[in-house]
Amino acid sequence: MAKQSTIADYGADTSQPTIRQIGVADLFDALAKGFDDFKAMPTHLIFLILIYPIIMLLSGRVAAGYDVLPLVFPLLAGYTLVGPLVAIGMYELSRRREGGHDISRKHLFDVLKSPSFGAIVRLGIVLVIIYFAWLIAALAIFKLTFGGPAAASMGTFFLEVITLELGNAAPDSIEAFASQILTTSAGWKLFVLGSGVGLAFAIVVLALSVVSFPMLLDRKVSAWTAARTSVRAFVANPATMIVWGLIVAAALVIGTLPLFVGLAIVMPVLGHASWHLYRKVVEH
């Protein structure tokens, strides 16, 4: 496996740590500890600053033209695919609090000084690639379900998918789009197929990242070692990890309901909780 390392990983620990088996009770304990970390180190204002420009941009784009509507849900749902990377500052704060160090919010950016920063970037790039692959897959499913390549060559169709263009599948209005999705057989087919494909993407990311990013902050390891450890943790605890993924997805949905304000609390709590989950699964 030495071929998986790079010059930037020189000196990194390549040993595989022991993986523990955990249960659902451990998940709720991690959530409780994550909420306790959030109360001690509130970062909701930072998340509001990050979230609302994105929401306003999407809202403005929808108001300007309805062709972006089919991408709104994949864009927001796909956020769970890059969430482990976004939450890395939360892991750092939880790590510092656990060690009895200063926990002021300025340490959110200490990850930039981490010995494993290069590995974090590389693994983060993998998640971003997966995120865009999900967007392309979601758009392809929508176009095939409602539009299809009838008005153009197959090559043009795939070009439109890769560039996230809807073409003749674009809805005429919000009402028409809602009716299209909720009251037609094609809409239900889209829901079932899209949910299945989205679940596959989510499981891949969950396996790759459930403990990898916290591990990279905690130890000088390569991206390959961290990702492999994360997959091992998932394989050793498949049912528990699936429950964790469902908890994360449900929490994010709940967080979006009050005009997305709840995400400013849900996201940091989940980030802190992920650190404690890592501590439970990976032996120190």
Residue in 82, 105, 80 with CA at minimum distance from that of residue 92: 105
**Burial label, 216 (beta-carbon count in 10 A; 0-12, 13-18, 19+):** buried
Eight-state DSSP code of residue 237: S
CA 125 to chain centre: 12
State residue 2's pLDDT score: 39
CA distance 271 to 38: 9
* Bridge partners for 221 per DSSP: 13
State residue 55's pLDDT score: 60
State residue 237's pLDDT score: 97
State residue 12's pLDDT score: 59
Mean pLDDT by 10 residues, the chain (284 residues): 45 77 97 95 69 57 60 77 86 91 79 88 94 87 71 57 60 73 84 91 95 93 94 97 94 78 85 96 90
Q: What is the pTM of this model?
A: 0.81
Residue in 201, 211, 271 with CA at minimum distance from that of residue 235: 211
State residue 7's pLDDT score: 41
CA distance 110 to 103: 11
Q: Do 123 and 209 touch, CB atoms closer than 8 A?
A: yes
